[in-house]
Amino acid sequence: MGAFIRQQRADFHSERVVMKTSHDYVSYVDKEAEARIVNGLKRILPEAGFITEESTNVANRDERTIMAEGYEYCWVVDPLDGTTNFIHGLSPYCVAIALRNADEVVCGVVYEVSLDELFSAYKGGCAFCNGRQIHASETPNVDSALITVGLPYDVERTSEFYKHLSGALYGHVASLRNLGSAEAELCYVAMGRLDAYIEPCVYPWDVAAGGLILSEAGGKASDYSGNSGLFEQGREVLATNGRIHDELMGIVAKSKAEVKAFF
C-alpha cells in the first residue's frame, strides 16, 4: 500500500480532490487505498467488521457499536491519515490499521510513507519501528517537552480552547508543533521524537493503532480527564511519554474548563 501511495503522490491530480467538510479533504487516493486495504483484510479475517474513514458514518464514532452487530473483531482503518499533507507534498502521512475486540485494541500498524517507517505493536508485547524496539522519551516535565497540538477542522467548537491552551503552553514548553497526522504524532511520541500530542475532535481511525503503539512503548494516552479507554473514541486525545501526563493533563483540563469547551 505504501508503494501505491508513493506512486500516486508522484503523479497526483489535485483537481480530483473533494472537500468533505470545511477544509477537510478527501482524494481519490484515500478511497482507492481504503478499498484495497479492506479487500485484503477480509481475506485475512473474514469474520471481522470494519470502521473506516471513508465508508463509516461519522456519527457512529465508537467502534464498539460494530461489536453489537455480531462481530467478534473489528478492523479500524485510516487509509491515508494526513490527507492535507499528502495533497501538498508534505510529510507525514500514514496508513493506519488496528484490530480490536469488544474490549480493546489488540494490535496496530502504522506505516509512515514518506520516511518508509513501519510502526507496530500487539497488546502485551513491545512496540517497534522497522523491526527495532522503541520507547517513549524520558523527558521529566512539561517545561522541557516538545509538544504537538493538532488543529481540528471543527474550528467553531475548538478555537477558544486552542487560544487558551496555546497561551498556557507557549513559552512554557520546549516548543509547540502541528504535524497534521494524528497517527504519526502518536507514533512519534512512542519513539521519543515528541514528548506529547494533544487534539480533540478526531475519530477512532485517527488514534486506534497509534494509541496501542504508544502504550506498548511505555507512553500513555487518555482523554482530558485521564480516562484511558475513552480516548479511542477520538473526542479528546492526550498522548504523552507517561512521565509528564498528569502535569500536562492539568493544564489541558484547566483550559477546557475555563472556556467551557465540549468535544
Residue 83's pLDDT is 87
C-alpha dihedral (3, 75, 204, 248), degrees to nearest 10:
-80
* 117 and 170 co-located in one domain: no
End-to-end CA distance of the chain: 33
> 202-231 burial string, b = 16+ CB within 10 Å, else e?
bbbbbbbbbbbbbbbbbbbbbbbeeeeebb
Residue 67's pLDDT is 60
* 108 and 7 co-located in one domain: yes
Give yes or no for residue 26 having a pLDDT over 90. no
Q: Is-contact 109 209, C-beta < 8 A?
A: yes
- pLDDT tens-digit map of 145-164: 999 999 887 788 889 999 99
Residue 234's pLDDT is 64
Q: Is-contact 192 142, C-beta < 8 A?
A: no
User: Who wins on pLDDT, 87 or 166?
Assistant: 166
- pLDDT tens-digit map of 165-216: 999 999 999 999 999 999 999 999 999 999 999 999 888 899 999 999 999 9
* 213 and 241 co-located in one domain: yes
* 32 and 94 co-located in one domain: yes
In CATH, what number is assigned to the domain containing residue 217? Answer: 3.40.190.80
For the chain, what percent of residues have pLDDT higher than 70? 86
- CA dist 175 and 145 (Å) reads 7
- What's the residue count for the chain? 263
Model pTM above 0.75 = yes
Residue 52's pLDDT is 84
| Full residue range of the structural domain in which residue 220 is found | 142-258
Report the candidate in 239, 242, 229, 234 with the shortest Cα–Cα distance to residue 263: 234
